[in-house]
Amino acid sequence: MGSGGNLDEDESLFQKVGDLPDATWTKWGLGLALLRGGDFEEAAAAFTKVIEIAEREKLSDLLAEGYFGLGEALERSSDFEKALASYRSALRHVRAGNWENKAKLEAGTLLHMGGLHRWLSQYEEAIEHLRAAALKYRDLGNAAAQADSLAQLAEIFFWVAEPNIAVGHYRQALEIYRTIGNQPKQIEILAALGEAGYLTDALSTEDGEKYFDDGQQLVASLTGFDPIVRVRAAEGKTFTQEELNQIFQEWRQKLPTLKTEYRIAVGTFYQKWGRSLLEGHEPQSAQAMLFAAFEYHSVLPPLRAPLINREIAIELAKDAYFLGEGFRQTKNYEMAINAFQLVEQMASLLRTPEIHFAYSGLARTYADLGDVRELRDLSLFRVSKVPKRLRWVSLPVHCIPIVVFRSYCWTSISAPRTNGTSVNLLKTTRECEQKCF
């Protein structure tokens, strides 16, 4: 029997003894448990029942919590429009109510609404809600949540080509994360600032390199076994193939022992560094960074991740996309097509417009190959025309050859980079990619 049926019996029983509010709060707690357990459909049903009773009994605080919980369940199910409507109802009841600690729920609702507006490409609304959330969390003394709000604000301003504003928010967030000692978040923000140095005029390339170097110092302290850290630390040393294999294998063996939070942060760090190197026309070095990012983010298998954890899935899709571009730039077209097809499959599971960027990568690859027929088919979104020998089912991490890692080690990894590298993000698909990724 579903959870809703059990509550009907509970409601009848508790009405007799006058404890219906307590029973409904219990149901709300059950909804939270279902939500945390990943049963979003049952969680939504539980919260819907809570809302029904709370409205009838005029329990304003429970009504707001019910709408917030329903919003979370719908958001986790990728039903963004309905989730946003539920959060709006929660915010309305929070602001109309008068109970202790309601400010915390208001701040959380604003933060979630800002995130949803962002996913729906409603940037003005996203900025409005995230700014309000940051101020509310500041007033509440919740520094971590304030920094999270500022970081999301920075990402949006970066996407809409306002890098100076983005850098300001990133620096605010970094200062807070340093104050509270949150190393994983510091790594993510340092990566974002490093990326801004390479891809925008808000910071110099030298500034970007310093942010990446600072971030890698934290990566070293957080992991203790990162292969890129080990190679860079041995500047000037020529590694044998056997030595490189050993470094790689030790890393692969120890990686599962790293906390998920740490893996996500380090993966994001290398993803942004790799993307920056791609734009700076260093595809071999970029491939190694992006390979590391994909490994760190592979907490879940890539085609299962969209069904379990949307955030991890999106990062894996971005890793694969940029890897595909790195392979394309080095003329490894078969691996490029494989990577772009993985992005396509993941995006279709995520039900997001990101699927079109897989097609843009595939289109560039087929254009490089001079395959006019495949290029035409892609323009019509006819993926079934991709050659059978290149069809892609999944991308196990061992399918990306160790030669990617080795090639990185053999390039001038520690050499100063050419000054004046010009990067133009405001042309054709590059602008679209920035807004998506």
241: left (phi over 0), alpha (psi -120 to 50) or beta: alpha
CA distances from 281 to 116, 275, 332 (A): 34, 10, 15
Show the tokens assigned to 275.
């993307």
Q: Between vectors from CA 14 to CA 13 and to CA 19, what angle results, nearest 5°?
A: 170
User: What pLDDT sits at residue 353?
Assistant: 57
Fold match flag (1-99 vs 224-437): yes
User: Of the candidates 128, 258, 268, which has an alpha carbon nearest to the alpha carbon of residue 190?
Assistant: 268
Question: Domain 1-99: what homologous superfamily?
Answer: Tetratricopeptide repeat domain (1.25.40.10)
Q: How many CB atoms are located within 10 Å of the residue 424 CB?
A: 10
User: What pLDDT sits at residue 352?
Assistant: 61
User: What pLDDT sits at residue 374?
Assistant: 57
CA distances from 32 to 38, 47, 69, 295, 398 (A): 10, 9, 7, 31, 38
Query: What is the model's pTM?
Result: 0.80
Q: CA–CA separation, 187 vs 283, rounded Å?
A: 23
Instruction: Indicate the fold that domain 224-437 takes in CATH.
Output: 1.25.40
Report domain extents, the chain: 1-99, 224-437
Beta carbons of 70 and 48 less than 8 angstroms apart = yes
The series of mean pLDDT values per 10 residues for the chain, 437 residues long, is 46 50 89 92 95 93 96 92 97 92 95 94 95 98 98 95 97 98 98 96 95 96 92 83 89 94 97 95 93 95 85 92 94 92 84 65 82 54 38 34 43 39 32 42
Q: CA–CA separation, 316 vs 294, rounded Å?
A: 6
User: What pLDDT sits at residue 372?
Assistant: 55
Indicate the Cα dihedral angle 220, 225, 229, 231, nearest 10°. Answer: 160
User: What pLDDT sits at residue 363?
Assistant: 81
Sign of the C-alpha dihedral computed for residues 178, 179, 184 and 189 taken in this order: negative
